[in-house]
Chains A and B, each alone.
Chain A
Amino acid sequence: MYEFVNSHKTRNSLMFHMFTNFKRILGFAFNDFNRNKGISIAAVFVLTITILLVTSLFFFHGITSYLTTQIQNKIDITAYFVDDTSEADILGVKDEILKMSSSIKNIEYISKDQALAFFNEKHQDNPILAKALQEVGGNPFLPSLNITTNGDPVQYASIADVLQTSDFSKLINKVDFSQKKDTIEKIYSITKNINIFGLILGIILILIAISVVFSTIKLVIENSRDEISTMKTVGASDWFIRGPFVMQGIIYGIIAFLICIFISAVSAYLLASKIQIMLPGFNIFSYFLTNWWIFVLIQLGFGIGVGVISAMIVVKRHLEV
């Protein structure tokens, strides 16, 4: 029969003890993951969908902010000065305007000569225009300041106002607006609305996805309800019980992350040329490459975060025995 030897407990150092526990928890987690393959795959799948939604929201943000700057760069004001305004005066006006309005993106001074040079360069293949210019004789161009605003229609209006009413307005021959004020207002509100709409839609979809992930993980753990209460009954500490489930959440998160980063990279690569046709100058794959660490951070953080938090919440409910 069973020999009942007195066993004396060997107390290892705390660090070693914690390390052993960690290894055991990891072992339990992998074991459970393997033994419930079907449900594990389901959890990874829903988590993957969630992360992909978050990722596409981020891509969407990249596209709209590119579009917005594109449009806003096109909204500029050019002030043409009277023919013999000195360069010093014009630069003085430039400083004045900059002082007046803090959020002006850029003011560029284009001298008479530069204006001519630009014209020649632009129309070098057009002999008729070149000839016409020769007939006029000299340099018919006016020096100018090209002002790029941040696209806000209010600011646009106030700059126009300043140019036409302040002291230096007598130096100005003519103010040219690239767009009409109401066009600008329309564009401005459209881009703003697209952003808000996309954000709200994205957040709703992500919330739905998170709740699906939560339910799936709940299902995984509910499946282990009796097991959790038995573990509690034999004296296991809460962390020893919770650990394997939390660790499974981390495993789901990491696998889902690997799938997502792969899908993001491949689809950005494959779609780059198609998107470039619609949005010239925007390469979604380079966008992905330059922001890769944000993608990694978002996907990994989201995957592990949602996995772990769901596991913690669900296990907590069953730990009260």
Chain B
Amino acid sequence: MIKFDNVTKIFPDGTVALDNISFEIKKGEFICVVGKSGAGKTTLVHLILGLELATSGNVYFEDVKLNDADPLKIQEIRRKIGCIHQDYKLLPKKTVYENVAYIMQVEGKDNAEIEKEVPRVLDVIGLKDKVNNFPSELSGGEKQRLAIARALVNHPEIIIADEPTGNLDPYNSYEVISLLQKINQAGRTVILATHDREIINKLGKRVITIEKGEILRDEQAGRFII
């Protein structure tokens, strides 16, 4: 489904964020990308979304070579992926409700479905009292949960979670991880990028460990060891 083929990413300032990495993610997999802060996890996520392009090598999304894909195709791919960004990427001038609804509007869902689904997902994620607040009025944890609600609302084929528990307490972190597990059990592909040792070790899923932009290990039922 997603394939990295000798991908190197060098930023204009000369930083080598990813150094010649190759791996493949199959449909329905639950895959953890772990590594210390600055290892290159977020860059990897951005390459999948076409937010950054590989300096050399190729990233494939279902046979589409992202380096050569036309902008419309990229937008189509982005709509297929529910992404929880490390920096949330919320719409600051829209309310909590509107932030979630926007994702469905982009997909062209009809109003009845939006009116049913948005309150439901906000309720599940624990933000139903904040529907009319703006992102600037939310705590870090609430923003994170809003980002999660937004990534889930369209039932995408693929969920990418970049440090989704970074701002949550252990209890809420556990909730989010088991939510991702459930989604995976329902047949969706999940990519979880994190530097949280405990989560990884409990999960027992495939782990790709990266350090300084290089893949250190790629193990089924892996553990976080650096």
Contacts of B89 in A (CB 8 A): 230, 233-234
Report A129 CB to chain B, min CB distance, Å. Answer: 84
Given known pairs A2-B179, A17-B108, A24-B105, the reply for A233 and B93 (CB within 8 Å) is no
Contacts of A1 in B (CB 8 A): 124, 175, 178-179, 182
Interface size on A, residues (CB 8 A): 30
Binds B, one of A4-12, A103-111, A175-183, A277-285: A4-12
Cβ contact of B103, chosen from A2, A20, A32, A234, cutoff 8 A: A234
Cα A132 to Cα B79 in complex, Å, equals 101
Whether a CB of chain B sits under 8 angstroms from the CB of A35 is: yes
Cα A251 to Cα B14 in complex, Å, equals 46
Whether a CB of chain B sits under 8 angstroms from the CB of A128 is: no
Report A36 CB to chain B, min CB distance, Å. Answer: 8
List residues of A (1-60) whose CB comes within 8 Å of B's CBs: 1-2, 4-7, 9-10, 12, 17, 20-21, 24, 32, 35-36
Whether a CB of chain B sits under 8 angstroms from the CB of A231 is: yes
Mark interface residues in A306-319 (1 if CB within 8 Å of B CB, else 0).
00000000000000
On whether the beta carbons of A234 and B178 are closer than 8 Å, the reply is no
Contacts of B96 in A (CB 8 A): none
In the complex, residue of chain B having the shortest beta-carbon distance to the beta carbon of A24: B105
Identify the interface centre among A9, A226, A233: most chain B CB within 10 Å of its CB. Answer: A233
Mark interface residues in B199-212 (1 if CB within 8 Å of A CB, else 0).
00000000000000
On whether the beta carbons of B93 and A237 are closer than 8 Å, the reply is no
On whether the beta carbons of B183 and A227 are closer than 8 Å, the reply is no
Contacts of B175 in A (CB 8 A): 1
Task: Give the bracket for the number of chain B residues in contact with chain A.
Answer: 35 or more
On whether the beta carbons of A4 and B93 are closer than 8 Å, the reply is no
On whether the beta carbons of B186 and A4 are closer than 8 Å, the reply is yes
Contacts of A20 in B (CB 8 A): 108, 110-111
On whether the beta carbons of B183 and A4 are closer than 8 Å, the reply is yes
Contacts of B109 in A (CB 8 A): 9
On whether the beta carbons of A227 and B93 are closer than 8 Å, the reply is yes
On whether the beta carbons of A237 and B155 are closer than 8 Å, the reply is no
Cα A240 to Cα B102 in complex, Å, equals 11
On whether the beta carbons of B124 and A233 are closer than 8 Å, the reply is no
Whether a CB of chain A sits under 8 angstroms from the CB of B90 is: yes
On whether the beta carbons of B93 and A35 are closer than 8 Å, the reply is yes
Whether a CB of chain B sits under 8 angstroms from the CB of A114 is: no
On whether the beta carbons of A2 and B152 are closer than 8 Å, the reply is yes
Whether a CB of chain A sits under 8 angstroms from the CB of B91 is: yes
Whether a CB of chain A sits under 8 angstroms from the CB of B16 is: no
Mark interface residues in B81-120 (1 if CB within 8 Å of A CB, else 0).
1010100011111000000001101111111010000000
On whether the beta carbons of A235 and B155 are closer than 8 Å, the reply is no
Whether a CB of chain B sits under 8 angstroms from the CB of A224 is: yes
In the complex, residue of chain B having the shortest beta-carbon distance to the beta carbon of A6: B155
Cα A156 to Cα B175 in complex, Å, equals 96
On whether the beta carbons of B106 and A233 are closer than 8 Å, the reply is no
Cα A20 to Cα B107 in complex, Å, equals 12
Whether a CB of chain B sits under 8 angstroms from the CB of A136 is: no
Identify the interface centre among A5, A12, A235: most chain B CB within 10 Å of its CB. Answer: A235
Whether a CB of chain A sits under 8 angstroms from the CB of B21 is: no
Cβ contact of A234, chosen from B71, B78, B108, cutoff 8 A: B78
Report A20 CB to chain B, min CB distance, Å. Answer: 7
Whether a CB of chain A sits under 8 angstroms from the CB of B121 is: yes
List residues of B (45-78) whose CB comes within 8 Å of A's CBs: 49, 51, 71-72, 75-78
Contacts of B81 in A (CB 8 A): 235
- Which 8 residue pairs across A and B have the least CB separation, nearest first? A235-B78, A235-B79, A2-B124, A4-B186, A236-B106, A230-B89, A7-B155, A235-B75
| Interface contacts beyond A20-B108, A227-B91: sample of 12 additional A-B pairs, CB < 8 Å, sorted by A | A4-B155, A7-B155, A10-B113, A12-B108, A20-B110, A20-B111, A32-B93, A231-B102, A234-B78, A235-B106, A237-B75, A240-B105
Q: Which residues of B contact A (CB under 8 A)?
A: 49, 51, 71-72, 75-81, 83, 85, 89-93, 102-103, 105-111, 113, 121, 124-125, 150, 152, 155, 175, 178-179, 182-183, 186, 188
Q: Which residues of A contact B (CB under 8 A)?
A: 1-2, 4-7, 9-10, 12, 17, 20-21, 24, 32, 35-36, 224, 226-227, 230-238, 240, 321
Task: Give 18 A-B contacts (CB < 8 Å), ordered by A residue.
Answer: A1-B175, A1-B178, A2-B121, A2-B124, A2-B125, A2-B179, A5-B155, A9-B107, A9-B109, A24-B105, A226-B92, A233-B51, A234-B83, A234-B89, A235-B76, A235-B78, A235-B79, A235-B81
